[in-house]
Amino acid sequence: MTRHIVALGGGADSDEGTAKLLDYVTDLTQKERPRICFLPTAAGDANEAVVRFYETWAGRGELCHVKFFPWPPPRLREHMLSQDVVVVSGGNTANMLAIWRLHGLDAVLHEAWERGVVLTGGSAGMNCWFEACVTDSFGPQLEALHDGLAFLAGSACPHYDREELRRPTYRRLVDDGFPTGVAADDGVALHYEGTELAEAVSVREGAHAYRVESGAETPLPTRWL
């Protein structure tokens, strides 16, 4: 069973670009009507995030969502393992991970990944799959987070070209010993097969992905969708 993670650096600039990214994700399932589940945990289970998911993903499969407030649904494991795609919202990465771990969803997501469920998301939905990341989970300032799910090795930084402090903060952290890793501009997706990067794709002209190491930032080949 092929394992897939599609880590999104951030949103596209247009509905057309967004549609291309979502089609890229759903095509990996090789199903006409995949089952797609949204996790708005990082957004505090906000109704606005849930509504936006249904609007954005409409027509791409059988849609559902899982909230953890006031409590998670019964048979959570069985429900998640029955999906073809799991979409993780943006928001507070640290709070999201704490809630998932408290309810055992971290282990369930790993099992789903091993079974071939496509895992995806942008911002916090990118950060969570890696060992470490750059996040604003602890306040408006950017800080390092070291306890991601670690399905993928190294660190990650989304919004690389859209938020002024992302690039210098990530470069400084890596230069100071933070795990090396990948950065993605908004509108860029990093597709991992297993734990290896299969390709980077973009729907924004000039937007790229990068390998970031101590003292070096190397653009990765990025295919235009």
Tokens 């060992």, located at residue:
131
Q: How far apart are the first and last CA of the chain?
A: 26
H/E run at residue 67: none
**What does DSSP say about strands 118-122 and 85-88: parallel, antiparallel, or unpaired?**
parallel
Structure-token pair, residue 56: 């954005």
Which residue stretches of the chain are H helix?
15-27, 47-57, 76-81, 93-102, 105-114, 124-127, 166-175
pLDDT digits (tens, 9 = 90+) for 58-116: 999 999 999 999 999 999 999 999 999 999 999 999 999 999 999 999 999 999 999 99
Low-confidence ranges of the chain (pLDDT < 50): none
Q: Which are the contacts of 48, defined by CB distance < 8 A and separation ≥ 6?
A: none
Q: Identify the pLDDT of residue 1.
A: 85
Q: How many CB atoms lie within 10 A of CB 206?
A: 9
Judged by DSSP in three states, 64 sits in strand
Domain boundaries, the chain: 4-224
CATH code for 4-224? 3.40.50.880
Planar angle of CA 50, 53, 58, nearest 5 degrees = 130
Q: Which are the contacts of 47, defined by CB distance < 8 A and separation ≥ 6?
A: none
DSSP letter (8 states) at residue 66: -
Residue 50 contacts residue 87 (beta carbons within 8 Å): no
Active-site positions read: 123, 159
Q: What is the pTM of this model?
A: 0.97
Identity of the residue numbered 212: V
CA distance 45 to 67: 6
